[in-house]
Amino acid sequence: MTRYASVLDLIGQTPIVDVSALSPKPNVTILAKLEGRNPAGSVKDRVALSLIDAAETDGLLVPGKPDQILIEPSSGNTGIALAMVCRLRGYHLKVVLPSNVSPERRQLLLAWGAEIIDSPGSEGSNGAVRLAQRLSSEHPEWIFLYQYANPNNPLAHYRTTGPEILNDVPEITHFVAGLGTSGTLMGVGRYLKEHRPGTQVWAIEPPSGEMVDGLRNLDDGYIPPIFTDNHGAEMLDRKVVVRPKESIEWTRRMTEVGLFVGISSGAIMAGAVKCALLVPDDQTATIVTIACDDGWKYLSTGAWSDDIDEVVERAKKIIYF
């Protein structure tokens, strides 16, 4: 058994497991990287550590100095990961959170000692970003790391997730991941395109634009600066929407291969299956997907136990991506 000096040393080096039993084609292998194995429970541990380390290196945060406050918009996982890292490093974190995230996310943030500032649920993550921007401009003394625009977000994946994937799966042909801040896709995508040219990079997204009613017109839209800065439109080979019902169906099906994962992981698996279906019968392919977190934070949605149509209706009102 390996001995570690800190929980933070447990971030990364997550396992990859073959889930091809769910592949629709025998010539397509599908592998899932289990990011729920990170200590605060999601892929966002990598990002949180990268953001805080870089802020300390740049002198934005000073270890040991009292009363340092950070503010960050998050629909959950980044907030939880940052809260854990801040707890260990002695910083106070305020998380701007849409009021309609699952209650488990809220509880976890409180468990790690974060302070929650509610933003209107109907405005989704857009509303949380806007409120955090406003509050940070009103409080210039607060540190705003802004995961949607901070280059250390994709850099975490360029330096860790990407190399881990290529090391474990040198034969990779497709990488399929979710599009939130775009950090995972931009970081891993760039690494794979540089080190295994020809790898296809697919983005999976929820139909969230349908549900955000804080938009007055399209000019209120939002594209993460990370996506634009990394030339995301040129980087991606394909972008696919996965509907709530498919997301829940595939979240359930993941239990067939022994995986109890979050709903976004089910959505990404649904996207991987769409990707597999396009591989010609006379070719082989190896798709790597990301299972962003485990299912614990979504138990209150009834995703595994209740009537699927009721769960879908509930999922439309709860932010799970």
Partner 1 sequence: MSALLRIPTVLRPAMGGEASITVEGPTIGAILSQVTSRYPAVKGQLLNADGTLHRFLNVYVNDDDVRYLGGLDAPVADSDEITLLPAVAGGAW
Nearer to partner 1, 180 or 284 (CB): 180
Q: Which two tokens stand for residue 209?
A: 């634009």
> By CB under 8 A, is residue 102 in contact with partner 1?
no
Binding span for partner 1 by CB under 8 A among 2-10, 38-46, 54-62, 165-173 = 38-46
Please tell me what DSSP assigns to residue 55: H
Is 214 in a helix, a strand, or coil? Answer: coil
Tell me the C-alpha distance between 128 and 118, whole Å. Answer: 8
Helix, strand and coil content of the chain, in percent to the nearest 5, comes to: 50, 20, 35
- How far apart, in whole angstroms, are the C-alpha atoms of residue 205 and residue 177? 9
Interacting residue with partner 1 among 88, 116, 240, 257 (CB under 8 A): 240
Cβ atoms of residues 24 and 277 within 8 Å? yes
Neighbours of 2 (CB within 10 A): 5
Q: Does 37 engage in binding with partner 1 (CB under 8 A)?
A: no
The site map against partner 1 for 283-312 (x = CB under 8 A) is ---------xx-------------------
Q: 8 vs 290, which CB is nearer to partner 1? A: 290
Q: Residue 202 or residue 282: which is nearer to partner 1 going by CB? A: 202
Residues 110-129 that bind partner 1 (CB under 8 A): 124-126, 128-129
In the list 18, 53, 168, 237, the residue contacting partner 1 (rule: CB under 8 A) is 237
Packing angle between helix 244-253 and helix 308-317, nearest 10 degrees? 120
Nearer to partner 1, 20 or 243 (CB): 243
Query: What positions carry a catalytic annotation?
Result: 44, 264
The SS3 assignment for 27 reads coil
Nearer to partner 1 among residue 21 and residue 111 (C-beta) = 111
Nearest of 290, 312, 283 to residue 15 by alpha carbon: 290
Angstrom distance (rounded) from CA 153 to CA 95: 17
The CA distances from residue 248 to 70, 240, 272, 277, 305, in Å, are 34, 16, 15, 20, 11
Residue 265, CB-side half-sphere exposure with 13 Å CA sphere:
29
Site string for partner 1, 246-275 (x = CB under 8 A): ------------------x-----------
The reply to whether 223 sits near partner 1 by the rule CB under 8 A is yes
| 230: its two tokens | 């990394």
Residue 257 CA to residue 33 CA, distance in Å, equals: 13
State in angstroms the smallest separation of the CB of 276 from partner 1: 15
Rule CB under 8 A: choose which of 238, 245, 253, 316 binds partner 1.
Answer: 238
Closest contact distance (angstroms) between CB of 66 and partner 1 is 28
Report the residue from 22, 52, 179, 275 that binds partner 1 according to the rule CB under 8 A: 179
Using rule CB under 8 A, residue 154 touches partner 1: no
CA 176 remoteness from chain centre: 12
Residue 198 touches partner 1, criterion: CB under 8 A: no
- Binding footprint of partner 1 on the chain (CB under 8 A): 42-44, 73-79, 124-126, 128-129, 147-148, 178-182, 184, 205-210, 212-213, 215-224, 233, 236-243, 264, 292-293, 319-321
